[in-house]
Structure 1
């Protein structure tokens, strides 16, 4: 399970009581610069996350596995397929970043880039990506938690990586089951966008 740009592995904690531990084993990985790995230095790229996924799987003795990636995490789960296609059973993307990058417009990029150090920018982005449907208290709380969960250098590095990386030509046609789940109020990562990118790839 790979998290988004705005939170580490604990963002999945609401799921934990409902996961079937009798049928499956789960690994919730923090990328370098997040959560329990907040002090682990690296290049802060999606490709590095993919390599770390394989190292983690090796350390757990998992020859094969399925991958779930949320937002930022949606890109490295696909890169794992490129690195070790024989090991990946299935993919699930939760409002995932596509293989051709986010392609954020130049006019919008400064707001995202400055969110590396400004909690008010994180509030703006969180509020926008949830369609402005959630309470200001919830948005503010999530933004505050996000500031604690990811360091500024890691935030900016991963943002640049997920925006400029494009390996869509290499992964298109990968023969494995894939599912995308989107938020109905997300104006950018919606079903149309995912059908044109992630699912097509």
Structure 2
């Protein structure tokens, strides 16, 4: 296991409730830019971080595993002086959120898994595996993934923007490795009984992590899990429905202040 690193990050707000936020597979913390002006900065302090190989952490080498990312999150909290904190993780970082619940639950107040990849091995059909496993070297695949996981409803201008940002903010090696992390790693056996309050947010039109999949996995494992289906959104609610995204997240986290 690698030594924990202090991830590149940006802190917004000055509130007593501390929140660490990590984005999904396609890119860095910039995916959350549409929500930043909507945050309650008097009640919350948000730390938006980049995992190894992405964004400001692009030059930090690593193994790109759930354990490594979780260790880096805990190290970041310690560096910030945060003994207890909330965590918001999108997509593959929703899987990391579950790892944190299982292995670092004493540090957590409450967690939001946004379209969370469950803690089990992810079975993909041949076409899906080909699409995802080669996206690190075929840029167009990243756009196809964006469109499929949002119900093929959004403008192709957004698709091209997401491709450009993904290529700009990720290294090919980390992008490839994180696919193995979110699709291949399986720690589902560690999940039952975790007591951390957990909000599983799914998207109405998410074809990648559909609500039924989350109901059959995360919601069965975690006794204190709640489900919120985000209307008019797919896999990127922070981009597709930013006002409602912030409203739902802050209402949930605020209950565990």
TM-score by length of 2: 0.75
Which residue in the other structure is 1:186 paired with? 206
Q: Superposition pairs for residues 1-201 of structure 1, below 5 Å?
A: 1-201=21-221
Q: How many residues align?
A: 201
Structure 1 residues 200 and 161: alpha-carbon distance in aligned structure 2, compared to 1, 3 A threshold: same
**Structure 1 residue 56, shift from structure 2 partner:** 0.1
> More strand per residue: 1 or 2?
2
1:108-128 superposed Cα distances (whole Å, 9 cap, x missing partner): 212111110211111111111
Matches of 1:188 and 1:146 in 2, distance apart?
Answer: 18
Matches of 1:122 and 1:76 in 2, distance apart?
Answer: 21
1:164-191 superposed Cα distances (whole Å, 9 cap, x missing partner): 1111111112112111111211123122
Matches of 2:196 and 2:105 in 1, distance apart?
Answer: 9
Q: Alpha carbon RMSD of aligned pairs, Å?
A: 1.2
1:30-81 superposed Cα distances (whole Å, 9 cap, x missing partner): 0001111111110011221101001000001111111111001111112122
Contact 2:202 2:211 in 1 (8 A): yes
Matches of 2:178 and 2:36 in 1, distance apart?
Answer: 26
**Following superposition, which runs of at least 4 residues in structure 1 exceed 3 angstroms of deviation?**
none
Matches of 1:38 and 1:81 in 2, distance apart?
Answer: 26
Q: Which structure is richer in relative contact order (CA contacts within 8 A, separation 6 or more)?
A: 1
**Structure 1 residue 23, shift from structure 2 partner:** 0.9
**Structure 1 residue 106, shift from structure 2 partner:** 3.7
TM-score by length of 1: 0.95
Matches of 1:109 and 1:35 in 2, distance apart?
Answer: 26
Contact 2:105 2:196 in 1 (8 A): no
Provide the secondary structure at the position in 2 that maps to 1:28: strand
Listed as ranges, the gaps of 5+ residues in structure 2 are: 1-20, 222-257
Listed as ranges, the gaps of 5+ residues in structure 1 are: none
